[in-house]
Amino acid sequence: MPFTELLKSTDFSGLSHAYGPANDAAKQLAGLAGDTVDRRAAGAYLNGVVLHQSTPSAVTATVVELLLRSIEDPTLRDQLSVILGFVSDVADAPSDTGMPVDEDLSSILVVDGVDQREILVDLTRRGGLGGDEGEALLEVGMAWGFEEIFAHARSWWSQVDRFLAGCGGTQNGETSPSSLAIGAAGYALARLATLCEPSVLEATAERLRWLLTTMPAASSDGRPVLVRALGTFESPVEYLDDADRLSRIAAALSPLLKQDERALTLLARELERAADLEPLLERPEYRSVYLNLPNMIAQLTSANIAPELLVDAAIGCLRWTGQTGTGLYQTARFLPRVFPLRTDNQELDLLSPEQSRYLAALLAEGDLFEQFVSGPTGASFAAAGLPTTRRGCSRLIRRSR
């Protein structure tokens, strides 16, 4: 059934979201098939209202079901990455908020034999969510949202998997979805699989690897997203040698390779060219799966790595921040790794060769030094035992030689 017809037939009455009754859902979601402005508004509605700060509500599951049943509608083709990104965020909501998959929510949903969902629906229809009674039922809406996610995760996974199974050719006479849309679908499949039985994870890995074998490495924007999806639950070590640069980075970011020497070396070498790399990672589809410089920095600075490699990457990030004026906080994450925090509150007397190399690079990046010592990172700079003036740092470098 076409999206617009499904939307008209969906009953949102009695359902609520983060800001009250979901009476606006049909109008807002219709924007997904509208012009550019409407589409942006609809995307913001999905990730700011239907799902609010990783917290679902009574309407969340209804919206997911509606969108997945419409996933092959040509009018939504340009919005598939947004829709499937939203599905991924819904699947991640339990882990993001610390809600266990096996959590018993019955004590919230049923009190003294009375189903609190029915009370919430009735109050929503009467427009009474703004009062004290409505405030008391906010937790019910959230618990209802989580319960629906757990109950439908397997069905949603099957719907996404069927969509992916047909992505090798044409659908309904239309051209195949973009590689980014396929990547977003693969990531949604992986996130939904974490809410299902173990056999689903095995089937997900098989589907993702099949997609990767059919997707050209040299011309596919969606390939890194698929590798990122696979790496969330299975080692993608073979993709560290992939022909595609971003796919190699995606593999190295797998939490299962966070102490792998090859993966860490790859990340360090890529961060040496952080300023050149950032424009390649600017796609929203990459940011939504944490394929970005901040995540690369976080993975590298939390691992054991050779000092020279660490400083090479740190200097690359200094240049990135110096050239772009962004990423100061992320770049500063290298500081306590290059200069371990001192406990004696004394300034350093001597630097190692690698420490001298890093500090000299910082002094060479225009006014970046002043930003380090005067901004939010200033306390870390002082705690490392470093002088807080250019002259003091220059003297320390000369003395260490």
Quick: pLDDT tens for 352-362.
999 999 999 99
Predicted TM-score (pTM) of the model is 0.91
Average pLDDT over residues 208-234: 89
CA nearest neighbour of 217 among 174, 263, 188, 251: 251
Is residue 50 domain-shared with residue 33, that is, in the same domain? yes
> Of 261, 277, 304, which residue is a domain's last?
304
Confidence band for 169, pLDDT divided at 50, 70 and 90: very low
Q: What are phi and psi of 114, to 5 degrees?
A: -105, 125
Task: Assess whether pLDDT exceeds 70 at residue 82.
Answer: yes
Which comes out higher in pLDDT, residue 143 or 372?
143
| Burial per residue of 269-285, b for 16 or more beta-carbon CB atoms within 10 angstroms, e otherwise | ebbbebbebbeebebeb
CA nearest neighbour of 12 among 60, 83, 47: 60
pLDDT at position 381: 83
Average pLDDT over residues 45-56: 96
Q: Is 398 in contact with 350 (CB distance < 8 Å)? A: no
Q: Within 325-365, where are the H helices?
A: 328-331, 335-338, 353-364
Average pLDDT over residues 295-315: 96
CA-CA distances (angstroms) from residue 75 to 68, 72, 79?
14, 9, 8
Instruction: Please give the structure tokens belonging to residue 228.
Output: 């990122």
The reply to whether 207 falls in a domain is no
Is residue 318 domain-shared with residue 286, that is, in the same domain? no
Confidence band for 217, pLDDT divided at 50, 70 and 90: low
Is residue 299 domain-shared with residue 310, that is, in the same domain? no
Instruction: Please give the structure tokens belonging to residue 364.
Output: 């060479």
Confidence band for 100, pLDDT divided at 50, 70 and 90: very high
The reply to whether 292 falls in a domain is yes
pLDDT at position 172: 44
Average pLDDT over residues 95-111: 94
Is residue 10 domain-shared with residue 118, that is, in the same domain? yes
Average pLDDT over residues 329-349: 87
Task: Assess whether pLDDT exceeds 80 at residue 326.
Answer: yes
Is residue 222 domain-shared with residue 371, that is, in the same domain? no
Q: What are phi and psi of 267, to 5 degrees?
A: -60, -40
pLDDT at position 168: 57
pLDDT at position 270: 98
Determine which of 4-18, 30-44, 272-286, 333-347 has the lowest per-residue pLDDT on average: 333-347
Domain residues for 56? 1-193
What angle do helix axes 223-231 and 179-193 make, rounded to 10 degrees?
Answer: 10
Is residue 170 domain-shared with residue 132, that is, in the same domain? yes
Average pLDDT over residues 36-60: 96
The reply to whether 101 falls in a domain is yes
The reply to whether 98 falls in a domain is yes
Is residue 244 domain-shared with residue 332, that is, in the same domain? no
* Residue 272 host element (H or E): none
Instruction: Kindly report the average pLDDT of the chain as a whole number.
Output: 92
C-alpha angle 85-87-90 in degrees, rounded to nearest 5: 115
Average pLDDT over residues 239-256: 96
Number of structural domains the chain divides into: 3
Confidence band for 171, pLDDT divided at 50, 70 and 90: very low
Confidence band for 379, pLDDT divided at 50, 70 and 90: confident
Task: Assess whether pLDDT exceeds 60 at residue 84.
Answer: yes
The reply to whether 154 falls in a domain is yes
Q: Is 105 in contact with 147 (CB distance < 8 Å)? A: yes
C-alpha angle 219-221-224 in degrees, rounded to nearest 5: 110
pLDDT at position 170: 39
pLDDT at position 219: 62
> Of 265, 285, 304, which residue is a domain's last?
304
Q: Is 174 in contact with 77 (CB distance < 8 Å)? A: yes
92 contacts: CB under 8 Å, gap ≥ 6: 54, 191
pLDDT at position 105: 95
Is residue 275 domain-shared with residue 350, that is, in the same domain? no
What angle do helix axes 307-324 and 353-364 make, rounded to 10 degrees?
Answer: 10
How long, in residues, is the chain?
Answer: 401
Task: Assess whether pLDDT exceeds 80 at residue 174.
Answer: no
The reply to whether 204 falls in a domain is no
Determine which of 40-44, 225-229, 285-289 has the lowest per-residue pLDDT on average: 285-289
Determine which of 101-110, 193-202, 285-294, 378-387 has the lowest per-residue pLDDT on average: 378-387
- Of the chain, the percentage scoring pLDDT greater than 70 comes to 96
> Of 281, 304, 327, which residue is a domain's last?
304
The reply to whether 227 falls in a domain is yes
pLDDT at position 31: 96
Dist. CA 278–CA 292, nearest whole Å = 8
Q: Is 211 in contact with 186 (CB distance < 8 Å)? A: yes
Is residue 271 domain-shared with residue 312, that is, in the same domain? no
Confidence band for 382, pLDDT divided at 50, 70 and 90: confident
Is residue 114 domain-shared with residue 258, that is, in the same domain? no
Average pLDDT over residues 308-336: 93
pLDDT at position 265: 98
pLDDT at position 374: 85
pLDDT at position 228: 97
115 strand-pairing partners: 110
Is residue 345 domain-shared with residue 364, that is, in the same domain? yes
The reply to whether 209 falls in a domain is no
Is residue 338 domain-shared with residue 239, that is, in the same domain? no
Average pLDDT over residues 266-291: 94
